[in-house]
Structure 1
Amino acid sequence: MEITSTASSYNISTDESALLAIKNRITSDPNNLLLNNWTQATPFCNWYGVTCGTRHTTRVTSLRLLSTALSGTIPKEIGSLSFLVFLEFGNNSFQGDIPQEIGFLRQLRHLSLQFNELTGLIPQSFGSLGRLRLLDLSNNNLVGTIPFSIFNISSLRVIDFNDNQLHGTLPMDICGNLPRVLGLSASSNQLGGELPSLSKCTQAIYISLSRNQFTGKKIELLLWCLLAISLPCVEACDGSCRSMQEVYPRKLVTSQYFKGYIWDGII
């Protein structure tokens, strides 16, 4: 049974209307966080998980509903929260597609939707989030390809696509337009093609591309791995690398040259 709310006779703002649309799409709220708190008896800037700006005092700048056991879908009206900087819906049970309207939130810096049950495609509109610093879509059921435009958002520090059903390829010069990226994860998907170059990932401290379907000659994959060990932590070897155990002695791949390097299926 859906949790519903209706607007009273007074005029409500665009942001409050968007929040009520979110509430209307919640199908389970076991802790009654929204049911009891997101009411017009309380100013919406004081609602649970909602923060408004200090300058624009009636505009929502942060919406954090992390680990609140909520179920439901995300409505397109969320794209009306045009001052939003932080959006955190992680560790819940949100379902359905990610609305493309999130890509209209040009002030957004932190987008966290991990550990839900989201399906469908990653919206192409995400490439317009020019101020984004963190994008976490991990541990969902997303399909399709990763929009290459996301890898052109130069402000990004952390990108996580782990544990979805994504396919297609990655940009060959994956950090070419990501000069500040610190972490990049896309493990446990169905990505293929050649492994990307890490030559411009100079600020990265963590890269994980394991458990995918990357192709290439064994020696090329080995050289890629050797280049990658300059990073503090890299997981890159997928199923193709398992066959290296047949060619290269285990002593080599477990030697000091691979310290901090996780070979999926070998070490």
Structure 2
Amino acid sequence: MKSPLLNVSELSLCSPGGILCEPVSLSLNAGERLAILGKNGTGKTTLLHTLCGLQPVTAGAVSFEGLDLRELSGQQTARLCGMLFQHEAEPMPATVYEVVMLGRLPHARQWHWESRQDHDIVQQSLKLLNLSSLATRDIHTLSGGERQRVAIAAVLAQQPRVFMLDEPSNHLDIAFQIQALNLLCERVSQDNTALIMATHDINLAARFCTHVLLLNGKGGYRFGDTASVLDSTTLSDAFECRVDMIVTPERRLFFPA
């Protein structure tokens, strides 16, 4: 039997203040999309950083297609995990094209310049995010939304096995939120990869994700398919406010009452 694309076993989430959550266990197969939901401070970003190797695994285990994360090199991890940060580091002076080309670094061969394939992938990523006309612009001259689209284009160009997105809708207007997440979901389906996104937006999670990990802020969590996890009672408890649900012919919608 083929190993899950991602397997998490009894993983403890810790912060300087102590334990954030009881040990987490879950698996994610190719084609699946996981939303991590919860209030601020529940461990969403900590979990993402641990899964992609930015924070050490202190208890439990994380593996990608049977390979233990702790035994992978930095380049191997970067080929497996494409991380979109909630707060991007202030970039050095560079054009949009150069920033997106950085996404190809995990695939670089030592002492070799970018290949024709690298350039083709970057150009396609720019086109998909409607950034081709901005390719020669300095990254510092862009708006917050434009820079977020550049960051998503760089992760697309990276071609990871698992996309890991921390608040991917940050700075994006509604149209680009839907466009970007549709694009990422299509890529996951086409390439048999997977996606994990930490978000505060329950409706984006309900619309785009097949599974949900809901951190309740009290050390517990609930994991399962989206329909079974997202309901008014569970969400109201996790977010400590009343969350109502409306069912339409197309989807379920959630809103604070």
Q: TM-score, normalised by structure 1?
A: 0.30
Q: Tell which has more relative contact order, 1 or 2 (C-alpha 8 A, sep 6+).
A: 2
Answer with 1 or 2: which has the greater Rg.
Answer: 1
Structure with the larger helix share: 2
Q: TM-score, normalised by structure 2?
A: 0.31
